[in-house]
A and B are shown apart, each in its own frame.
Chain A
Amino acid sequence: MTADTGAAASAASRAAFRAGVLECLTLIPSYVPFGLVCGVAGVQAGLGEWGAVALAAFAFAGSSQAVLTQFLQGGAPLMIAVLSGLVVNLRMAVYSAAISSRIAGATRRERMLWAAFLVDQTFISNETRHQRGEHMDHPLAFYLGCAFTLWPWWVLMNAIGAFAGAKLPTSWQLEFTIPLSFVAMVVPLLKSRGQILAAMAGGVAGVLLYAMPLKTGLIAACVFGTCVGMLVDTMLAKRAMSSGATP
């Protein structure tokens, strides 16, 4: 590689990183209320202020942090508390599978970076970028731009919660920016009729199965929605075949 193409590549990779930062800057408000709450909960569960910060930094997964600290505070055995937190994070296995098909040529070290920062927001931002076909030569740089925006911010919000015990007034409804941001990211990704039906079925099942323990309803709803989507896809393909149109 000549110096010129090397410089061009690193400029492109810096541009991808900056795009990732910009993409995820808009998600920063949605981290504030839940981050503060998780920091407070960590201290209340007896992790200590620094323990609460470490939990946010090393787990980087709000709902599982909330479940873990809730169980610890309730006096549950350590193993049960940890396993419960992990069950909440099982949805990340779906993201892991989905992302693995996007990073075929990645090295082991790159794969570890992809895994380390895999949360709802970084995952769906990367899906959005992929659908738009942007920065296709530097997906990891974009992803790290996203991660290096959200991860420190998440840790900071937890730290403020832990050390200052700060909370936001609930009347601000800032926590509602979490579902809104997912809506804004996922709706443009719906391209096929199968995907729309999968989302509708998943949404209905998600509500009906909401009471299942430790968000296991999420996984069941995901499986149900996927099956509905596949059924619709198969039916549409069959109809297209029988009417003689090209699929």
Chain B
Amino acid sequence: MNWGSFGTVDGWLAIVGLAIGTFAIRYSFIGLLAGKKLPPRFDRALQLAVPAIFAALVVPLILLHAGEFNMQIRWPHIVAALVTGVYAWWRGGMLISLVIGMATLHGLLWCVS
């Protein structure tokens, strides 16, 4: 059965499944650990897990082109990310960091084109 712009029954089952499952993941520790005192070791681990997971998320997005490490294509992106990182570390502030990073990227791409 197809409801045109409203899709199909299976489609809605998928939507509801992903929505409920994702909420369960998001609520998992927030709900489980409600009002509990965490052992300090666990708390320290989380302080390290946050930079670790974001680095794991971001570094491939900067270095890889179609899943492959390709310095020849990606070097402007790598430089732009480094410039953004250094500026953010030095001064902070999302908007200017982003503008500087994107300007660096497009400047380099324009230079080589």
Contact = CB atoms under 8 A, between A and B. Distances in A.
Contacts of A186: 50-51, 54-55, 58
B5 A120 contact: no
Interface residues of A, number: 99
Interface of A is mostly: helix
A180 B97 contact: yes
A33 to B, nearest CB: 13
A94 B93 CA distance: 25
A217 B95 contact: no
Contacts, number: 287
A225 B23 contact: no
Contacts of B89: 187-188, 190
Measured as residues with beta carbon below 8 angstroms from the partner, the interface class of chain B is 35 or more
Contacts of A185: 88, 94
Contacts of A29: 98
B71 interface: no
B82 to A, nearest CB: 9
Interface of A: 23, 26-27, 29-30, 45-51, 54-55, 58-61, 64-65, 68, 72, 78, 81-83, 85-86, 89-101, 103-104, 106, 108, 111-112, 114-116, 118, 120, 124, 127, 173, 176-190, 192, 194-196, 198-207, 209-211, 217-219, 221-222, 224-226, 228-230, 233
